[in-house]
Structure formats: C-alpha cells, structure tokens
C-alpha cells in the first residue's frame, strides 16, 4: 500500500503531525504443521503482503487504536495496558503485545496513536494475527527505544496471542513474521529456537497459495484441543522415555512405544506430529540437494497425515488439494496454517500456473459453492520500519 494513502488516512483519523510507518509480513509454511508447539521443526517463509502500522507518540495518558480493515476504535489508558478487552475485539492483538512490554518492566509515561492497515487475507491461514502482533512489537520497540531483540519480540508476540486472544499457538508464525528474509525460508527448531535461513531457489517453479475462502478460527477450541491431546500423548509416553514434548522422540522410538498410548485418537495425533517432524527435516535436505520432486512428495504426505491422523483439514481444504493434484505440472500440494479452513500451498511449474488457477477455481466452486482466490507468492522480509 502506498505511503501517501496511509499517511493521509492517519491524519484524517488523528490530525496533522509526524508519522512513522512499520510493516510485518504474513507467512506461508511450506511444511511442518502443528509441530511448533510440540518442540519440532517447521519451514515457513515470510510473504510480501502483511500488516502496516502507523504510529505517532503523544503526550496523552492513553493509546488509541484504529484500523482501515475492521470497524471499531479503542482508547486504552496507560494504567489498563495489561488488561484484555472483551473477547473478539481485534484491538486485543496489538494491546496484548504492548502488555508484554509492560510485563517486562517498560514504563509508558505517555501514549501513542496507532493506525492499522493489512493486506493479509483474514481467515486465510496466512497469519494475519501474527503479522499484527509482530508489527506492533517492532513499532513499540523502536518508538519507545526499549532495545529488545527480534527473537524476544517474536516470543512476546506469541505470548500476546496466548494471553489476549486465547490461542495456545506455537512460535512459528510470530518467528517467521519477525525473522523472515527475502527469498529464504526459515528452518526453525521450535524447541531451542535455533534456526537456519535456507535459500529457496525454484527454477521454473512457483509457490502458489490457494485461499479456500472458508475462514478458519483458531480460537474455536479445536486448535487448543489438539494441544491438549499432544500433551496427553507425552504424559502417556513419559514412563517409557524421558521427553518434554513430542519433538523429543524419533519415528522409530514412537513406533515401538505407541502402544502405551491407550487412546486411539491421541495416538493418531502423536503419530502425525512425530512423522511430520521427520518429513520436515527430509524436505529441507531435499531442497538443499535440488530434489524438488521429493520435496513435493513430502508435501503431499504432510497433507494426508493432517487429514487422516490430525484431522484439521476439512471438506474445503481437502477438495482444493484433490483438484490441485489433478493438474499436470503440480509437484506437491498441502494445507498450510492451523487448518479448519484457510489456505493451501503448492509447488507448481510455471507452465501450469494459469491452468491451475482457472481449472481448480471452476472445479472448487462446483464442489463447494465457494469462490477460491489464488496468489503466486513472493518471499519477503520480516518486520521492519518502512518510513
């Protein structure tokens, strides 16, 4: 979005004066789903669309929040920055992030005016919430000179989601939004936060995101239920093996010990996580060695595991993946994000992209009654000041 348009909107909302602008991206996860809160590996990359935040420090004893995307503005006193607003209020995302600064001992003696504008499709599973949290963290850190490093800002943004949005998410989304680099994906160990920036060089191949327009809602309870089920699997395995999370057990170890998990549903949840972690490490190795066909096969296997063992896909995501896989020139396709609606990510040869968008769009509408949207993704930079 153009700077002049954003600044004009800010001035119309809050009046004349200097304005600073920040941006943090949405993300797409190439492989490694529902492994982050289990201490496993993920492989996301930042996108070129995301969330802009314009800010002006004031002498007022409150922060004001407005958005160009969502109706409703809020004014929050400096003495109430650590208190959530009513559930469902979008301001909880930036407010929850500011609350993390307060909890770290940052004292705000004056407030600021904030305007949000995002171009991450809401409910598409591309982490619009993480982009909002991270851009807030980056802006507050810069404007109030708190000197906190980007990894810590990502962790603070994650806590905001836990405490103010009620979603027990892992670190992946916020980490990718904060730490992403252009034309690189992030191979992240979510247990240690050790990471490697891996070049994504796809000659003659595009990353295509398919938005089902069946919005997901991670605070619906199903996401948190999966978190609890994974913990139940760890509790069942602990008498047999010393692990803190499912990221601490190999596929072979799990295969020999899975019988101790008496609940069949919990066993399947754990099987997805353990095998998905292995698929992710294998996929990164395949990308590094130039074996893109193997990478695509692992993407396909990831979706199938999410469909049958983790049960987070649903009719719309499964329909889109089924139709995409029928197109010649598709190397691999899977759901991306938390699931229960949202988006798919596919590796597609250049010559097949237009055919995929047209053909799958028609077939998907025929089968679901929903109009899909497709984006040819570009890999962008993590949270930063833009003006």
Establish if 343 belongs to a structural domain.
no
Rounded average pLDDT over 150-164? 97
Active site residues: 173
Rounded average pLDDT over 131-136? 98
Rounded average pLDDT over 361-379? 96
Distance CA 362, CA 196 (A): 39
Pairing mode, strands 205-211 and 62-67: unpaired
CA geometry: angle 278, 215, 350, nearest 5 deg: 60
Establish if 247 belongs to a structural domain.
no
Establish if 176 belongs to a structural domain.
yes
User: Which residues face 76 on adjacent strands?
Assistant: 63
Structural domain span for residue 122? 3-199+381-385
Banded pLDDT at 124 (limits 50, 70, 90): confident
Establish if 76 belongs to a structural domain.
yes
pLDDT, tens only, 46-102: 999 999 999 999 999 999 999 999 988 999 999 999 999 999 999 999 999 999 999
Establish if 307 belongs to a structural domain.
no
CATH number at residue 28: 3.30.230.10
pLDDT, tens only, 194-232: 999 999 989 999 999 999 998 666 556 888 899 999 999
177, 143, 162: which is closest to 100 by C-alpha? Answer: 162
pLDDT, tens only, 35-53: 999 999 999 999 999 999 9
Establish if 180 belongs to a structural domain.
yes
Establish if 62 belongs to a structural domain.
yes
Establish if 107 belongs to a structural domain.
yes
pLDDT of residue 201: 87
Per the structure, the count of domains in the chain is 1
Distance CA 41, CA 49 (A): 24
């Amino acid at each position: 979005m153009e700077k002049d348009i954003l600044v004009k909107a800010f001035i119309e909302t809050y009046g004349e004066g200097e304005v600073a602008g920040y941006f943090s991206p949405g993300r797409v996860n190439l492989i490694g789903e529902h492994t982050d809160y289990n201490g496993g590996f993920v492989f996301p990359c930042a996108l070129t669309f995301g969330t802009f935040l314009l800010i002006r420090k004031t002498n007022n004893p409150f922060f004001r929040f407005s958005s160009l995307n969502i109706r409703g503005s809020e004014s929050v006193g400096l003495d109430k920055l650590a208190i959530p607003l009513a559930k469902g209020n979008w301001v909880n995302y930036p407010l929850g992030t500011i609350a993390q600064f307060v909890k770290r001992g940052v004292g705000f003696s004056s407030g600021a005016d904030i305007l949000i504008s995002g171009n991450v499709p809401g409910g598409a599973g591309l982490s619009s919430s993480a982009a909002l949290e991270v851009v807030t963290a980056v802006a507050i850190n810069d404007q109030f000179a708190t000197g906190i490093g980007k990894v810590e800002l990502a962790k603070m943004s994650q806590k905001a989601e836990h405490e103010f949005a009620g979603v027990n998410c892992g670190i992946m989304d916020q980490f990718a939004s904060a730490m992403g680099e252009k034309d690189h994906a992030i191979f992240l160990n979510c247990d240690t936060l050790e990471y490697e920036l891996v070049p994504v060089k796809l000659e003659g191949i595009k990353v295509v995101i398919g938005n089902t327009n069946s919005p997901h809602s991670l605070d619906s309870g199903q996401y948190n239920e999966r978190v609890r089920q994974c913990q139940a699997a760890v509790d069942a395995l602990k008498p047999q093996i010393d692990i803190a999370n499912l990221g601490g057990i190999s596929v072979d170890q799990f295969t020999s010990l899975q019988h101790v998990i008496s609940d069949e549903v919990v066993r399947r949840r754990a099987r997805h996580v353990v095998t998905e972690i292995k698929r992710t490490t294998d996929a990164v190795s395949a990308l590094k060695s130039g074996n893109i066909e193997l990478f695509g096969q692992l993407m396909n296997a990831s979706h199938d595991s999410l469909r049958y063992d983790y049960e987070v896909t649903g009719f719309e995501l499964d329909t889109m993946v089924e139709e995409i896989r029928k197109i010649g020139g598709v190397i691999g396709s899977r759901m991306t994000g938390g699931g229960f609606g949202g988006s798919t990510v596919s590796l597609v040869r250049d010559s097949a992209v237009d055919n995929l968008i047209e053909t799958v769009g028609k077939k998907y509408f025929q089968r679901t009654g929903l109009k899909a949207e497709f984006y040819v993704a570009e890999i962008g930079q993590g949270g930063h000041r833009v003006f």
